[in-house]
Amino acid sequence: MAEEQQEKFRDSIGTITEDGKRNHIYPKKPSGKFTNYRTYLSWFLLALLVISPFIKINGNQFLLFNIMEGKYNIFGQPFWPQDFYLLVLSMLVGIVFIILFTVIFGRIFCGWICPQTIFMEMVFRKIEYWIEGDRGKQIRLNKQPWTAEKIRKKVTKWILFFIISFLIANVFLAYFIGSDVLLKYITGNPIDHIGTLIKLLVFTLVFFFVFAWFREQVCIIVCPYGRLQGVLLDRKSIVVAYDHKRGEGEKGRKKFRKNEDRDELGNGDCIDCNQCVVVCPTGIDIRNGTQLECVNCTACIDACDEIMDKTGFEPGLIRYASEDNITNGEKFKFNIRIKAYTAVLTILVAVLVTLLFLRSDIEAIILRLPGQTFTTTETTVSNVYNFKLINKTVKDLDDVEIKLISHAGEVRIVGGNSKVAKGDLTDGTLFIEIDKKDLESSKEKLKIGIYADGKLIETTSTNFTGPMKIN
C-alpha cells in the first residue's frame, strides 16, 4: 500500500489538478553553472536560426525548404525532388542518431537544443521574469484582482509575446519561401501578398498561444519524444537523476539544522528544501525518479548544488547519472544495444555519404512527345522529344549540348543549345534523327550524353521508334 502511495504521482501530470483543471506552473528563476551553459548555447542556436535563411553560399540560400516549388538547399547545396531518396536517408540517420543519443543520455536534446524549450525558457520566460518578477511575484500577481498594475504588466507582456511570435513566424517563413522573397514581401505592399500575410498571422497566433498559454504542456502532452523514454531508457542511461541512496539515508530526508550529525542520526543529505521542485519548468519532483515530464533542463541540478554549497554538503545530490551508477556505483559501459544502434548509424551515414559523392551534377530527363509518332524520309527516321535538364551545381551551365552516344545520328534542340542557371532547371523540345541503316529494330534504346563546355557530365537513355524491319 505504501509503495502504491509512493507511485501515485505517476497517475497524473503536474499541469493538471485533481479536479481536471489547468495547474499553471510558476518556476523559480534558475541560476548556476548548467543554466549559464544552456544560456550560451541558446544564444548560439537562436543566432543560427535567425541568420541561416539569410546566408548565401555561391548565391544559394544556406538552408531552404521550398516545398511548393520543390527547391531545397542544404548548407548552400541545391537539392531537388529527384533527390528525395537522400532526404529519406537523412531522416533515417537523424532518427537513429536521436534514438542512440536518447539511449545514452536520455532526454538531453529537449533541455538543451529543442526550439520549444529554447524559445520558452530563454526568450519568453525571461521576458516574463523581467516584467512580472520571479515565482512569488508572479503567483501574487495572478491571484490579485485586475488592478491597473496587473493590466499594465499583463498587456505589456502579451504585446511583447505577440511581436516576438510574429518575428519567429517571419524567420520560419524565410526557410520555406526564401529570404529574398520574404524581404520583397516585407518591403512591398501587404495588399499584394494578402494570402501570405494571413498565413503569417495564423502561425503568429499559433506561436503566441503556445508560449503564452499552452507552454510546458507541449513537452508533456503533445511531444511524442517524451513517451519514447519508456522504450529507450534503461538503468544504464545517463539522465538528470536524484541520488536517493545519499539523499534519503537510512531514515529519510530531514530539515537542516546547524551542528547536527546527520550521519549519526541516519538521515540523508536531502534537507527537503523543495528547491528542486519550485525551479522545475514542468512542475515535477525529480526525487521521485525519472518521469515523462522531465526534459533534462538541469535547473534542479543548479538549485540543489546551490543549497548543498550553503549547507556545507558535497554537490551532486542531483546530477547526470544512471540508475546503476547511483545504486551500484557502476560506470557507463557500451552495452549490446548501444553497439547495435551505433553500427546501424555508421552504416546509414556511410551509405548517405557515398550517395552524396555519387550524386550527379546535372540530371537529364528525355521522353518522347506523347501522341507523336516517328517521321521518315528516304534515308532517315526522326522522333520528337521533350527534355528537362536540372542543374544541381552552384555554377551556371552556359552551353549545354545533347549528343547521341550509342548511335550515329543528329540531335537538334529547338532554339539551339540550352543554358541552365545554377540551382535551376530548363526544359524544351528536341529532334533525334538516325539513318535507317543504323536501326536494327522498330524500337531501340538510345544512350544520350549531356555535355557542358565539351565535357561529358551526365548520361541518360530513351526509346527510339521507327518502321518495322522487313527481311
The residue with greater pLDDT, 254 or 321, is: 321
Q: Give the residue carrying C-alpha cell 545554377.
A: 422
- pLDDT over 90 at 14, yes or no: no
pLDDT digit string, tens, across residues 130-141: 999 999 999 999
pLDDT of residue 176: 92
- pLDDT over 90 at 123, yes or no: yes
430/384 same-domain check: yes
Residue 233 · residue 103 · CB < 8 Å: yes
Q: What predicted TM-score, i.e. pTM, was given to this entire model? A: 0.82
Q: What is the largest CA-CA distance in the chain?
A: 113
245/304 same-domain check: yes
The H helix count followed by the E strand count for the chain is 18, 16
- pLDDT over 80 at 298, yes or no: yes
Rounded distance between C-alpha atoms, residue 260 and residue 20, angstroms: 43
Secondary structure class of 225 (helix, strand, coil): coil
Residue 226 · residue 297 · CB < 8 Å: no
The residue with greater pLDDT, 337 or 281, is: 281
- pLDDT over 60 at 259, yes or no: yes
**pLDDT range class, residue 5, cuts 50, 70, 90:** very low
Length of the chain: 471
- Cell numbers placing 423: 540551382
Average pLDDT over residues 208-235: 87
423 in a domain, yes or no? Answer: yes
13 in a domain, yes or no? Answer: no
191 in a domain, yes or no? Answer: no
Average pLDDT over residues 235-246: 91
- Cell numbers placing 101: 543519443
Bridge partners, residue 426, by sequence: 389
Secondary structure class of 79 (helix, strand, coil): strand
- Distance of CA 469 to CAs 49, 372, 443, Å? 64, 20, 10
pLDDT digit string, tens, across residues 340-373: 889 999 999 999 999 888 887 788 889 998 888 8
301 in a domain, yes or no? Answer: yes
The residue with greater pLDDT, 5 or 210, is: 210
Rounded distance between C-alpha atoms, residue 241 and residue 246, angstroms: 12
The residue with greater pLDDT, 406 or 230, is: 406
Average pLDDT over residues 402-417: 85
pLDDT of residue 140: 94
Residue 413 · residue 428 · CB < 8 Å: yes
Average pLDDT over residues 111-127: 95
165 in a domain, yes or no? Answer: no
pLDDT of residue 347: 94
pLDDT of residue 9: 61
pLDDT of residue 431: 93
367/461 same-domain check: yes
- Distance of CA 180 to CAs 186, 396, 423, 426, Å? 10, 20, 15, 22
Bridge partners, residue 178, by sequence: none
pLDDT of residue 215: 92
282 in a domain, yes or no? Answer: yes
- pLDDT over 80 at 283, yes or no: yes
406 in a domain, yes or no? Answer: yes
Residue 403 · residue 449 · CB < 8 Å: yes
Residue type, 287: R
**pLDDT range class, residue 41, cuts 50, 70, 90:** very high
374 in a domain, yes or no? Answer: yes
295/251 same-domain check: yes
Average pLDDT over residues 324-339: 86
Integer-rounded Cα Rg, in Å, for the chain is 32
pLDDT of residue 102: 87
Residue type, 14: G
Compute the C-alpha angle 173/177/183, nearest 5°: 75
Compute the C-alpha angle 151/154/156, nearest 5°: 100
Q: Nearest to residue 25, comparing CAs of 34, 13, 37?
A: 13
Compute the C-alpha angle 50/53/55, nearest 5°: 100
pLDDT of residue 471: 53
Start-to-end CA distance of the chain, whole Å, equals: 95
Rounded distance between C-alpha atoms, residue 42 and residue 136, angstroms: 26
Average pLDDT over residues 80-109: 86
Secondary structure class of 348 (helix, strand, coil): helix
308/367 same-domain check: no
Consecutive H or E run containing 60: strand 60-61
Number of domains in the chain: 2
368/454 same-domain check: yes
Q: Are strands 239-242 and 318-321 parallel, antiparallel or unpaired?
A: antiparallel
311/369 same-domain check: no
Residue 404 · residue 439 · CB < 8 Å: no
Consecutive H or E run containing 42: helix 33-51
372/418 same-domain check: yes
- pLDDT over 80 at 224, yes or no: yes
- Which span out of 148-157, 287-296, 383-392 was modeled with the highest average pLDDT? 148-157
Average pLDDT over residues 464-469: 84
**pLDDT range class, residue 10, cuts 50, 70, 90:** low
The residue with greater pLDDT, 84 or 212, is: 212
The residue with greater pLDDT, 263 or 115, is: 115
280/371 same-domain check: no
307/402 same-domain check: no
Average pLDDT over residues 380-404: 87
- pLDDT over 50 at 154, yes or no: yes
Alpha helices (H) in 279-335, listed in sequence order: 299-311, 323-328
- Distance of CA 2 to CAs 179, 252, 327, Å? 60, 15, 21
Last residue of a domain, one of 328, 351, 374: 328
- The mean predicted confidence, pLDDT, of the chain is 88
Provide the residue range defining the domain that includes 249: 239-328
List all residues 6 or more positions away from 311 whose beta carbon is below 8 Å from its beta carbon.
Answer: 256, 271
pLDDT exceeding 90 applies to what percent of the chain?
A: 47
Bridge partners, residue 448, by sequence: 404, 460
Go through 153-183 and write b for each residue having 16 or more CB atoms within 10 A of its CB, e for each that does not. Answer: beeebeebbbebbbebbbbbbbbebbbeebe
| CATH code, domain with 449 | 2.60.40.10
Rounded distance between C-alpha atoms, residue 356 and residue 353, angstroms: 5
List all residues 6 or more positions away from 71 whose beta carbon is below 8 Å from its beta carbon.
Answer: 64, 78, 80, 423
Burial class (CB in 10 A: 0-12, 13-18, 19+), 338: middle
Average pLDDT over residues 295-300: 93
